[in-house]
A and B are shown apart, each in its own frame.
Chain A
């Protein structure tokens, strides 16, 4: 297949409309073509939406148990994960935050133990952890980029996935927007697999939260377009 035409296979790939040979060739191409990866990211969102366009009767009740049993049976083959070197490289508070990338999940259960151990955790991080550990909190997805967690009282924490480090001289600034008016809600630098920010302001129902790139000390009001946004 000529290399110029392979870019044109993105939509068909997203729809699973390639035959096996074409699919393999396209995947090989994908590994080297940023343009196709970007395009695929967008088109895949549309195909995932198509999945929700179907009638959704209840699956057979036995299906869930069969899947879990089969998975448990395979589990004996699973090699225990070794400690990931990347987590050892980061220090202090960042290590706690990065640990969340994996540990986030078990956190609600072990929050209190962890907080006891993490004496180096900053007040900001502890406050964020308290929000994340609140079992009453609601989570608002910000797509693949992260999520916003809001407790019933409006305390909120922003969790970002793989937010790149802010450019030199810049910072990320979070905003809580009520009635169209953005109010500064805290700064973050990014650069970790997971960053956690306890917002300085409460996030009431129907308010939005956005993140922009701002000069290092932050701004009074946003000077750039949001890179992340979500609504409580």
Chain B
């Protein structure tokens, strides 16, 4: 047991800058063999940056990495893999157009250029059986659900037999059941004497599975604590520092009852990027002054549904009506004026090479917006920026998200379609956004909230729909309790 306490990986004075952003400032952490080490921090704390540096994805600015008592140089991902460090990224990093087996072959450095997928089959099958992973090696990755993809990532990591396994927000895309499965799995790897580094911004998760927890804030290590000595209050304090101020409780106060229908979908089929039908015979209604939350897992078709309703995708079958008009008759210009839209990835709607002000002006109706009004909006949304002239590319992810949302609802469109608007935001940012949503609703807006976060859907929606097995089912108005949703999912 004593062996378990040995130091395995030591990072010393690691720094990384992205232009004006200091993502990591002299970070030093001591990781031990056979532990689950949590890196915890709010959005933009620098967690992913740290992981990507260890994995050889980002270049290192300065600092040392010592593995097994030996200083190592990580110039690229290959160096990192050679040293036995493997990463499971926040969103599966598999090549969708290749089969599972091809992805595995690609990742295994020990096979030469003339090998075929046969080389990895035996090893892969053995691991699949041993851990009960249930993966079909010959399927193309794009046909897999997100949890299946995550299993492939894990299978890949196991084939590599790493000394150090880094998991970046591994549970973002998983259901509760799948989470438990993953935790068990991580545990067994730890017991084999490996170092497992888990990155998360969820405090409960950290306390639940970690042996030790390192808290990162603004690129600096605040502290490393043993789980035994940790509790939630203290962690919150360390994570958010002085910036914690209680957000006002959600203003779920009585609103006017639901008004007229602003968006309706009747019997429509929806397709994915590969032309496969991903949702069948969808019927859905959004009324004025309400939030209609649609819950679905990652890859279930939420994104495609949102994009279709915003007129970005072909659809077939029935009819989609937006503010009384047939979707097919609405041109892009009109659509952008009538409907606010937050895509699944905000990099699709912002331009990182332009500054904040220019990003607002991208919208036709904000072309002539006053500067002081923009400043007012920035303050209201708590967007952390030095000035309107700051390049969007230098904002943190959470601030980019808020910038995108603020631009879409500044003009109070009748409808807002939001796909995972709070995905990967920390809880303070989530509260800010939710409050803004409520205010918008109280002023007569309506939101179609398409979310992979079951709690978000249940907490803020007036009416809830659930996507399962390519179908969408809407719960009776007012009934949006968790059990009902889970029942539908089962």
Do A and B assemble together? no
A residues sitting closer than 8 Å to B (CB atoms) are: none
